Amino acid sequence: MKISIIGTGNVGGALATQWAKAGHQIFLGTRELAKFEDKHLLENPNTTLHTIAESAANAEVILVAAVPPATQSIAEEIKAAAKGKVLIDAMNAITTRPEGFSNSFEAFRHYLPETEVVKCFNSTGFENMKNPIYQGEGIDMFAAGSSKKAKEVATQLALDAGFSTCWDFGGDDKAALLEQFALSWINLAIMQGHGRNIAFKLIKR
């Protein structure tokens, strides 16, 4: 699969590495090529560096793991390229949010009405994306959105990254709830001091 990754920090970098190892073609997107700082990611297989617009144009799937206030500007840069494609929103509006919106998912749905948007890869720390295996078993990922196509793509990419299962969290109306679920992980890991090497797994009787 051809994947554009916009935002190559902890989360975007971890997923870029996992997906490159799984054989996907990765197009890293940045605003200023000359100032790109995460050059270690270019050591991964199947990985190249482009402008944001070029990376989106080259890809079938776009992952955004930037900061929520940048949602509008990113949407404007990729609008033409993102038409009909899947966009995975991996951001959380915990300390900042897009102007005029509660979260980045709502903003992307507004600015990119012809794009298949799904909220995923936001509910745990980047350490769990680098290594989602606990005691020999993959942890769980969760996806929210009303696009069946986008959730199917996110689910496959979660499995390719090493997660055991990607649970359907519901439609567009559950994207905000999934962000609160992410805050629950942050609360346990950081605020309650349990550390970042903790994860969620759904168990059925």
CATH number at residue 170: 3.40.50.720
Evaluate whether residue 114 is within a structural domain. yes
Sheet bearing 86-89, strands edge to edge:
47-51, 25-30, 2-6, 61-64, 86-89, 116-120, 140-144, 165-170
CA distance 200 to 139: 7
Evaluate whether residue 8 is within a structural domain. yes
- pLDDT score, position 87: 98
CA distance 67 to 11: 11
Q: Which residues, given as ranges, of the chain have pLDDT below 50?
A: none
Total domains present in the chain:
1
The pTM assigned to this predicted structure is 0.97
- pLDDT score, position 26: 98
Evaluate whether residue 205 is within a structural domain. no
Domain containing 17 equals: 2-191
- pLDDT score, position 53: 97
- pLDDT score, position 94: 85
Evaluate whether residue 201 is within a structural domain. no
